[in-house]
Structure formats: structure tokens, C-alpha cells
Amino acid sequence: MTQLGTRGVIYRGGTSKALLVRSEDLPTRDTNALERWILAVLGSPDARQIDGVGGADILTSKFGHVGPPSRSDADVDYTFAQVGIDQPHVDWSIMCGNILSAIGPYAIDEGLVAAKEPVTVVRIHNVNTGKIVSARVEVHDGRPQTTGSTHIDGVPGTGSPIFLDFKAAVGAKTGTLLPTGNRRDAAEVPGFGLVEYSVIDIAGMQVCVLAKDFGLKGTEGPLQIQDMPKVCAALDFLRRKVAVDTGFATSLETAHQESPATPFTLLVAPPADWQLYGTQEIRPADSCDLVARCVIGNVVHKAFPGTGSIPLAVAAALQGTVVHDITRASAHHAGTYRVGHPSGTVTVEVQLAETTAGIDVVRASLIRTARRIFEGTVFAEPSRLPDLP
């Protein structure tokens, strides 16, 4: 049988990498068949993803398709999938802020959005959440600019800055910034007692907890935390409880299947010296305003997701959350929050306004870089896709 070939592009967006396909080029629109195709081309389930284009890491096992807009206030529709590595699972519930930074350049490169020099604004409708994120992309000679002086930790070298504005992404999962109705909640967590936490929904819904409540400093490396089964089990319990409380899962027992990536758990701590993953470089405490680790299931992110950075910075800016009080005071005055993560720092600009109607997010922006790495045809083994021509 002939392999099924589909035109695709591999793009790095921020600290992540994904296979991107034009929506019109998808081999099928049937969700079940499409998920089997995605698993086949990325090489899942397999811990190495050796038989596909996945990179055997949560940062690189990603897929997206992009097409014409389905609403008048957008320039393109973007649908994202986080793809399981050793499990045959495709999760459509999140948007991935890092890959979002690739969608503006991709849309320009593909002719879905006309290039306007020197900067093209691309209004991206994330179909997963129904929210609009604006991307400002530098353009030269009709193509997205890649060369520049902007460095983001977790990516070698420098590139052209891409400005992402998430202020319209409040309530991406629940329709409200504070899904529980509170700035701070508490729950009994097995093995650790009463733990306070804050749930924030902008770009994605995440649960923020203090590292000290789990016996951690917050500066531990990803593998260190993953080697702590008691801590991982407790964090997973709290994540599943929040999923149930906010209606994304019907029970603690079924939460893994019903809501595997909503919410993430964000472990936070005050500024402190920390060691970078991979290079062992020591970063000083004065280079960040708080330190954080993102836990997705039992895997700790080796950098930090965009959909974690935005809600974490908003939580830091919002008085009454567990994050606000441990954040460097000068960050609140500047409205700029530097999050120390395993690969360095990510900086988020936040401005909030409290009105009689509630909390208004005036600004929530992030700077990323992106680059088109490969374009061509990705092939799927036909024996894995008996229902596709």
C-alpha cells in the first residue's frame, strides 16, 4: 500500500516545536480518524517517537492546523493539539502559547494573511478556546523576519521579536478570570495537609501553588521533581480536584482521561538562585521576580509554557492570590514580571484594573521568536489508517 502523504511545515514557536498543516490539506475532518493520523505522523505511542516527526518531549510533540477565519474579528483560525508520546492521546483542550507565536509568521508565509511592512498584525482565533490573540510580526521583503536581537531563554541564538497580546483571552476555558470565584482557595491534599492555591484562567486555566507547601524550594530541576513520586501524586491530586470543581472532569478517577492537560500545576516560590536545565549555569535571584515550575501530569516542563506564563503573571499582579505576596515588590510597580524557569526567564507585561464590574485585564503580553524549520510532505504508514484512502 502507498503511504499517505500530506503537505506540512515544522515550525519552532517560542520554546516549542510543532507540525503545522493548512486546514484544507488535512487528510480527513473526522475527529477520530484525524487523531489516528496525527498519532501516526508524530510516531505515537512510543517513548522515542522514532517512527514519526515527534521529538519525544512534551515541548515537541505538538500539532496544529491553520485556515481561513470563521469569525469577522480574526484573520485566521488556529486549532492546536498536544499529542501524547507513550500514550495514544490527542488533547484539543489547550492553545499552547509558544506555538501560537509561530501562527502569525506561518499565516504570512502561506499567503493566508497579506504581508504589510514593517509590521503585520495577525489576529489569531484559537478554535480550541474561542479566544483571539493578536501577534505583531516584523516583515521584510514580504516575508516574516527571522533575524533580530531578541533572545528567549530555552532557544539558542537570537531572532526577530513577535509580540503576543493575550488581553482578549480572559476566560479561555471557563469564561471568567477566576473560575472558582475566589482569588485563593484551600484543599486537603493527601500527605501534605491543607494547601492554599489560586486558579487563574487567561490563555489557559492553571492552578498556582506554593512550592514550600510540598517541601520544595521551587528551584529544583525538572528531573528532580519527577523523581519525587509523593510530590507528583499530590500535585496531580490537586490538579484533578480543580478539574472536577470547575466542571472539566466528573470525578477524580476519570480526570486523567477527561481533562489530562487542564489545568497545569504551577509551582511558585520567591526569587532565588537557580541552576539551568542542561547547561547547569547558575542564574542569580536578582534576575527574576519569582521562580516557577510547570507540572503537566507527572512531567515537568523543561522551560515554561506561554499558557502558563500569562496566567501566572496575572496571578502575580492580582492581590489576594498565593502568587502575589511571594513576588518581588518592584515587579508590581513596573507591571513587568520575570519568571525564573528551568531554562532561564520569561518576561510578561501585565496591567490590571479593578472596577465595580470586576477585574479588567488591560494588558497581558509576551515576547517570543519563531522560525520555519522545514516544509515538505509528511507520510503516514497506511496500516495505521485503515479508514483513510
Q: Are residues 203 and 68 in the same domain?
A: no
Mean pLDDT of 15-29: 97
**Nearest residue to 335 via CA among 358, 310, 313, 319:** 313
Q: Are residues 205 and 142 in the same domain?
A: no
Q: What pLDDT does residue 298 have?
A: 82
Q: What pLDDT does residue 356 have?
A: 83
Q: Are residues 248 and 119 in the same domain?
A: no
Q: Per-residue pLDDT for 297 more than 90?
A: no
Q: Are residues 227 and 156 in the same domain?
A: no
Q: Are residues 248 and 149 in the same domain?
A: no
Establish if 323 belongs to a structural domain. Answer: yes
Residues 162, 105: Cα–Cα separation, whole Å: 9
Mean pLDDT for the chain?
A: 95
Instruction: Give 259-268 pLDDT, tens digit per residue.
Output: 988 999 999 9
Q: What pLDDT does residue 38 have?
A: 97
Q: Per-residue pLDDT for 63 more than 90?
A: yes
Q: Per-residue pLDDT for 386 more than 90?
A: no
- Band (pLDDT 50/70/90 cuts) for residue 168 is very high
Q: Are residues 208 and 354 in the same domain?
A: yes
What's this model's pTM, rounded to 2 decimal places?
0.89
Q: Are residues 36 and 77 in the same domain?
A: yes
Establish if 71 belongs to a structural domain. Answer: yes
Q: Are residues 352 and 211 in the same domain?
A: yes
Mean pLDDT of 204-229: 97
Q: Are residues 376 and 343 in the same domain?
A: no
Domain ranges, residue 374: 4-161+370-384
Q: Are residues 295 and 225 in the same domain?
A: yes
Q: Tell me the CB-side half-sphere exposure of residue 173, using CA atoms within 13 A.
A: 29
Q: How many domains are contained in the chain?
A: 2
Establish if 180 belongs to a structural domain. Answer: no
Q: What pLDDT does residue 93 have?
A: 87
Q: What pLDDT does residue 355 have?
A: 85
Establish if 224 belongs to a structural domain. Answer: yes
Mean pLDDT of 170-197: 97
Establish if 22 belongs to a structural domain. Answer: yes
Establish if 154 belongs to a structural domain. Answer: yes
The C-alpha cell that represents 42 in the structure block: 508524530
Could you tell me the CATH number of the domain that includes residue 86?
3.10.310.10
Q: Are residues 126 and 220 in the same domain?
A: no
Q: What pLDDT does residue 254 have?
A: 96
Establish if 236 belongs to a structural domain. Answer: yes
Establish if 47 belongs to a structural domain. Answer: yes
Q: Are residues 352 and 203 in the same domain?
A: yes
As a whole-number percent, the residues of the chain with pLDDT over 90 amount to 93
- Band (pLDDT 50/70/90 cuts) for residue 389 is low
- Band (pLDDT 50/70/90 cuts) for residue 67 is very high
